[in-house]
Amino acid sequence: MSDDVDLDKLFKDASRTPPEPSPDFLARVLSDGLAHQPAAKGVMSAPVKKRSRFAQFFDELGETIGGWPTLAGLATATIAGVYIGVSPPESLSVPFDAAFGEVTSLSDALDLGDGFDFTQYEG
């Protein structure tokens, strides 16, 4: 027998029967794979930041009435109203006088007649 013949036969046998891993080993490898697998695209979600109740209130309010543009308009109108109330411009008294004349109370302005008094409706 030559050494070459021995080796060729051995190599062929070894090639035909590769060492096979145990089923346990394959199960461990698969388990690792599934444990380290990234989540499927499309179901990933960004971590949600926890917000304070105060911030949440304004978030919800904003969403309810239409978002920040509405809030900005509301804030502008409020400031304008306060300003007009505190310091009414001259131009406003002209149409007011024209409409109601020289009046000192709401009853006069509405001209509800003699004897009428709002207080009579009070319980």
Partner 1 sequence: MPLDQNTDLSDDALLLLYANGDEAAARTLTLRLAPRAYAQAYRMLGVAAEAEDVAQDAMMRVWKIAPEWRSGEAKVTTWLYRVTSNLCTDRLRQRRGTSLDAIDEPIDPSPSADDVLQSTARQDALQNALMELPVRQRQAVVLRHIEELPNPEIAEKMEISVEAVESLTSRGKRALAKILKGRKAALGFEGETQ
Give the interface with partner 1 as residue ranges (CB under 8 A): 1, 3-4, 6-7, 10-11, 13-15, 17-22, 25-26, 28-30, 32-34, 36-41, 43
CB of 14 to partner 1, least distance (A): 5
DSSP H helices in 1-123: 3-16, 23-35, 53-65, 68-86, 90-100, 106-110
Which of 82, 86, 109 lies closest to 98, judged by CA?
109
Residue whose CB is less far from partner 1, 39 or 98: 39
CB of 66 to partner 1, least distance (A): 38
Give the burial string for 31-51 (b: 16+ CB within 10 Å, else e): eeeeeeeeeeeeeeeeeeeee
- Residue 2 has φ and ψ, to the nearest 5°, of -90, 160
Would you give the distance in Å from CA 110 to the centre of its chain? Answer: 48
CB of 21 to partner 1, least distance (A): 4
Residue whose CB is less far from partner 1, 14 or 77: 14
CB of 16 to partner 1, least distance (A): 10
Residue whose CB is less far from partner 1, 37 or 104: 37
Residue whose CB is less far from partner 1, 21 or 67: 21
User: Which residue type does 92 have?
Assistant: L
